[in-house]
Amino acid sequence: MRWGADAARARAAGHPLVALESSVLAQGLPIPANREADTRMRTAITAVGAVPAITAVVRGTLTVGLDGDDLERFLRREGVAKVSARDLPVAALRGTDGATTVAATLSICALAGLDVFATGGIGGVHREPAFDESADLAELARTSAVVVCAGAKSILDLPATLERIESLGITLVGYQTDEFPGFFTQTTGLRVPARVDTAAEVAAVLRQSRAMRRPGAVLVVQPPPNDSALPAELVEHSVNEALGQARAEGVRGAAVTPFLLAAVERATAGRSLRANLALLEQNATLAAQVALALSAAP
């Protein structure tokens, strides 16, 4: 494992770190919005007083704190593969440049001892075929960390995803909300089992979970910010269009999520992209606050 200079310094000094994934930069968002996402998330975390650490596989080396020329290569997506948790061993063996999904990032968090991770939306159960379930859920079930997100992407089957989160024993809390947000939308009509209102409370939930030796994550969901969230009807319509295109083109496997996100972006004339950037930034801020709360005395 390699630590970037800033991340290594933070770890040595005991400063709070926030892990970030790299798949959202190399696959999830288009160029140049991916660079904007990187800047906004890192700036947000730094503003709170924590240190951002992007995870990645850099030429086969698991990395915490992707930076410099390596980060540039990922932002320009020159030969960068999407890497989930199960892909890590082969990527390491082959010397691959791999952008880490939520699942892969969680594996690296466990190895590196990172407690807090901010992302946009987790993967979940796809609408079709329903057996296409993101490995993000299984890794959430076996990685003890706080994961801040805006729910699961609206391209997924959200009720089914919520059921799987329950089955897998993943602790789920809404941040200042009683609802499971829909990533692009604030409301879904689906309820979360518990609500928390402060970052300190989130930190306390992780401490409880660890005291009980629960193996899994504390998944914190926060709705996208008011001024950029999309109306549910627009998202529903766009997702249906995107699913039709995916079906027509026979898109499968790891390519499905990036394909659907790009199709929704086209169908919403870029509004989904603005929402995506805003919620990534907001999640980064909350994750940094949680990291600070965790590093303070309980």
The HSE-up count of residue 234 (CA atoms within 13 Å, CB side) is: 16
Amino acid making up residue 18:
V
Is residue 241 part of the contact set for Mn ion (CB under 5 A)?
no
Catalytic residue list contains 21: yes
Question: Which H or E run includes 173?
Answer: strand 171-175
Nearest-CB residue for Mn ion: 132
Residue 268 contact partner, candidates Mn ion, ligand PSU, none, CB within 5 to 8 A by sort of partner: none
Residue at token pair 């800033």: 6
Among 171, 257, 268, 282, binds ligand PSU (CB under 6 A): 257
Nearer to ligand PSU, 170 or 203 (CB): 170
Q: What stretches of the chain show up as alpha helix (H) in DSSP?
A: 5-13, 23, 33-48, 68-75, 88-94, 102-112, 135-142, 158-167, 199-211, 232-249, 256-267, 271-295
Is residue 135 part of the contact set for ligand PSU (CB under 6 A)?
yes
Nearer to Mn ion, 27 or 289 (CB): 27
Least distance from C-beta 196 to ligand PSU, angstroms? 22
Burial of 174 (0-12, 13-18, 19+ CB in 10 A): buried
Residue 4 contact partner, candidates Mn ion, ligand PSU, none, CB within 5 to 8 A by sort of partner: none
Give residues 99-128 in contact with ligand PSU (rule: CB under 6 A).
101-103, 120-121, 123
Among 132, 201, 236, 241, binds Mn ion (CB under 5 A): 132
Residue 38 contact partner, candidates Mn ion, ligand PSU, none, CB within 5 to 8 A by sort of partner: none
Is residue 136 part of the contact set for ligand PSU (CB under 6 A)?
yes
Q: Residue 150 in contact with residue 279, Cβ under 8 Å?
A: yes
Is residue 27 part of the contact set for ligand PSU (CB under 6 A)?
yes
Instruction: Report CA torsion sign: 232, 237, 238, 244.
Output: positive
Distance CA 287, CA 28 (A): 20
Footprint of ligand PSU on this chain (CB under 6 A)? Answer: 21, 23-24, 27-28, 84, 101-103, 120-121, 123, 134-136, 153, 254, 257, 261, 276
- Binding residues for Mn ion, rule: CB under 5 A, are 132
Report the catalytic residues.
Answer: 21, 153
